Amino acid sequence: MDDFSDQRPARRMRLGTKSCAECRRRKVRCVFPQNSSICHGCSLHQTPCRAQQPRPKDGGRPGHAQVQGLLQSQSVSQLAADNAVLRRRVAELEDLIGSLCDALEPNDEASSASASGAASSTSASTLASSTTPADINTRAIQVITNLKNHGLLQNDAALSYNFGAALVDPVPNTVLPNIGEVPTSGPPSSLLSPGSLDHESSSSPPDYADKAITAVDAPLINLFRDALLIRETEGELYDDPEDPSMTYLMKESISSFKPPIPDPETLRLILEDSKSFWPIWPTYYFGPEFSNVMHIASLDVAEAYLSQILNYSRGVDFCNAILFLTLCIQQLPRQWKRVIISPNISRQVIIDTYIRFALVLLAVEGEASPQAVQCYLLLHKILINMGRPQRAWMAIRHGISAATVIGLDRLDANASIQKKSLWAQTWQMERQLCMMLGFPSAVSSLGTKDDSSMTQMLLPAQTVFRRTCVIMGRVIDRNQNSHESPYATTVQLDQDMEDLKRDFPPEWAGEYDPSLSMPAIYSQEAAQIFYYSTLKHVHLPFMLKAKTDRRYEHSRLSTMEACRELIKAYLRLRRSPKSESVQCELMDFTMFSSAITLILGILSGSPNTEGSLVAVPYCAEEYRLIDSLIGELRRTDSLLECTVARQSAQVLETLVAASYGTYNAQDDFTLVVPYFGRLRISQGTRTVTNGNADTITSSVSSHNNSTLASPSVASTVELSSLPPKQIPGEPFYLPQPSNTIEFSSNEFLNTTFSDFDFQMDLSQDWCTIVDTNVQYDWNQLFNGTNNMELR
């Protein structure tokens, strides 16, 4: 349309020019749909599709003002005439391309004409021709031969060289001029895929076919290749399934659509109220080459950076910023009254929206890079805090993949500390989830070796954490190969854990130093939580075997000791005013599963302690510890609105009541404990045979009617080896009804439930999970309070 030939003489355009002016400017492939005069890119961007025009001879180009003046000066009749000329040229070139393609796919009439040597012509074009059919056939044969020789057609079958349709060439034995100067309307309808060129023919190429012709010598090769690679029906390219213009459009669309961001004042308040928690999150590096660390930067610097990225940036940098903001919003207390986006949009909706947008952004622009690895670490932490361990595992696996692609698992000694830190955080987080979920680890032992420059910088808590994660890898390997792993493997793992415990700093055994900051308290307790959680998983598969085999008594005691220490560390963390509001629902669930395991160990008992007076104060101490845990879980839910903590407290209260024999309800209490097994509590009465009740070897009952959330639970413990009396007033009369507690699980806790909501994970209602098709390794049935029946 922009024809300036009347203002200054134009030079001739180069051969092979076929892209429209807009696609040339954007440097993308110009593809015309079938029967359309507008290319794919211009149609998507809703821009005028204009053909490229010859440049002025002096190489200059009219300025914007000059162009506007020229356009305004053109009359309507001149523009109409130009349009008619362009349409005529498009029609001519379409007919020309159709003739070339018809030559590649001969019909019966064309084949017979070629065999007899008779001349044929195409009258679709207005151009005259004086060439002979032999010249046209020779040209077509040379083009196809060069396509084969240069690897542009990957077909091994012989080609048919009986081309009957003559090509029109204004000048004999010369290349057709200006092929592709103006965009065509798409591939002709007779054009098939490259595979249609393979015909079984006995004819062979003539001897005069020159195989030494290169693409430079024959520009038509590129024209033929582009035409042949287009599918007739779909318009897709065989060698480029992802249209660059489509990718560009996706990126532009995502960058133009951004989720709502808090206003500057609200953003400042969010950062202020969450800044104390930044050091306990995955390290957020920013700035040139990760030169800055978010939790070390001042609040003003952090606010300026995040405001700039969230409002004006795009790509992976924006993804990092939006995920970090999500962590900040997630950590806000329940009573935070400030409106984040709108009064009608809840905090959880904002968090879910940010997560979804970040996932889409990573899918489109998340090429493997250190920034992408950092995104997955932040996303992993968000999902862990929400109680979504399976989704967190998928996120950290993506981080492992991205880190492996860019070589973070094989860094040399001269690599930056930032990259080493990213890799260390990635494989350590991955191993924690693999051990909990029963999944195999993606990182071998070679990938966990840090150089001396890295290990020397670690604090004592970080050193314990790293060494624990190394042992986690061996626990995962044993669980994945449980049938071939002897008990000696567990004994060696236990010995390594004991060696690690000797390296605990002495100050961890006493009270907190008042000068300790919240990150220091959290690091100390988190390291112990990870340690004792690993110790629990080392011995848990063999805990119940101690009932029938004394060789496993050490595993039962070690498991219970690990559960006690886990709960104690959690209580210390939650009772500290500096760390009471730390958000982590997966940590809450870890404490709940530890309490379940502890109760299971108490109820099962071992042959040498069951019915012994020595075990009475021991069990009373355990139940007081569990009762304190219930209180902290309730308090955590009130502070942070944690679904996992609330459900955990409810289940533990019911289980403790059933252990005392005070659970009384019309229906049975049944639920599936995620990543553990099934729990069922039945309400019943004692059966009487010949006037006597069934014998209960030992019973523990509470005469304290205070609520279970009080600091103490069992004030009086009664033991009896005599049959309980059924008549009130008689000695040893037990007024409470008997309860039956049933545990079902697998040894290595790798059960997968078919009705498990993957998206909600731990936050779903555990009573709604169905396990009809699950085969458990063992079932434990406890009648009364401490009478176990193994099935």
What mean pLDDT is predicted for residues 251-273? 84
Higher-confidence residue of 460 and 191: namely: 460
Q: How far apart are CA 500 and CA 518, in angstroms?
A: 25
Residue with the two structure tokens 């015909």: 199
What is the pLDDT at residue 359? Answer: 92
Specify the range with the lowest mean pLDDT, choosing from 70-84, 499-513, 767-781. Answer: 70-84
- Delimit the domains of the chain by residue range: 21-228, 258-448, 518-790
Q: What DSSP state is assigned to residue 340?
A: S
What is the pLDDT at residue 468? Answer: 97
What mean pLDDT is predicted for residues 213-237? 48
Residues 669-713 pLDDT 10s: 888 988 888 898 887 544 433 333 333 233 333 333 333 233 333
What is the pLDDT at residue 235? Answer: 45
Check if the beta carbon of residue 748 is closer than 8 Å to that of residue 541: yes
Per-residue pLDDT at 129 exceeds 80: no
Per-residue pLDDT at 657 exceeds 60: yes
What is the pLDDT at residue 341? Answer: 92
**Where are any strands of DSSP class E within 396-527?**
none
Q: Residue 562 has which token pair?
A: 């690990």
Residues 720-766 pLDDT 10s: 333 444 444 444 444 444 678 888 888 776 666 667 888 889 999 99
Q: How many CB atoms lie within 10 A of CB 71?
A: 12
Per-residue pLDDT at 198 exceeds 80: no
Phi, psi of 196 (to 5 degrees): -75, -10
Per-residue pLDDT at 416 exceeds 80: yes
What is the pLDDT at residue 467? Answer: 95
What is the pLDDT at residue 722? Answer: 37
Per-residue pLDDT at 339 exceeds 90: yes
Residues 65-119 pLDDT 10s: 454 454 455 555 666 777 788 888 877 777 776 666 555 544 444 444 444 444 3
- Strand, helix or coil for residue 142: helix
Q: Rg of the chain over CA atoms, in angstroms?
A: 38
Q: Residue 433 has which token pair?
A: 């989830």
Identify the top-confidence range among 163-172, 206-215, 449-458, 539-548. Answer: 539-548
What mean pLDDT is predicted for residues 610-614? 36
- How far CA 251 is from CA of 236, 414, 559, in Å, comes to 20, 35, 52
Per-residue pLDDT at 192 exceeds 50: no
Higher-confidence residue of 303 and 5: namely: 303
What is the pLDDT at residue 177? Answer: 38
What is the pLDDT at residue 151? Answer: 54
What is the pLDDT at residue 644? Answer: 96
Identify the top-confidence range among 155-169, 329-343, 379-393, 733-747. Answer: 379-393
Closest C-alpha to 628, from 671, 572, 668, 681: 572
What is the pLDDT at residue 139? Answer: 54
Per-residue pLDDT at 204 exceeds 70: no
Contacts of residue 582, defined as CB under 8 A and 6 or more positions apart, other chains included, come to 277, 280, 522, 573
What is the pLDDT at residue 271? Answer: 97
Higher-confidence residue of 230 and 738: namely: 738
Check if the beta carbon of residue 163 is closer than 8 Å to that of residue 106: yes
Q: How far apart are CA 772 and CA 766, in angstroms?
A: 14
Higher-confidence residue of 710 and 770: namely: 770
What is the pLDDT at residue 141? Answer: 61
Per-residue pLDDT at 157 exceeds 60: no
Higher-confidence residue of 42 and 379: namely: 379
Q: Look up the pTM and report it.
A: 0.65
Residues of the chain with pLDDT > 70: what percent?
64
What is the pLDDT at residue 90? Answer: 79
Higher-confidence residue of 243 and 631: namely: 631
**Which secondary structure element, helix H or strand E, spans residue 788, and what is its range?**
strand 787-790
What mean pLDDT is predicted for residues 233-262? 60
Higher-confidence residue of 39 and 229: namely: 39
Specify the range with the lowest mean pLDDT, choosing from 48-57, 332-341, 629-638. Answer: 48-57
What is the pLDDT at residue 314? Answer: 78
Closest C-alpha to 536, from 560, 552, 515, 513: 560
Check if the beta carbon of residue 726 is closer than 8 Å to that of residue 693: yes
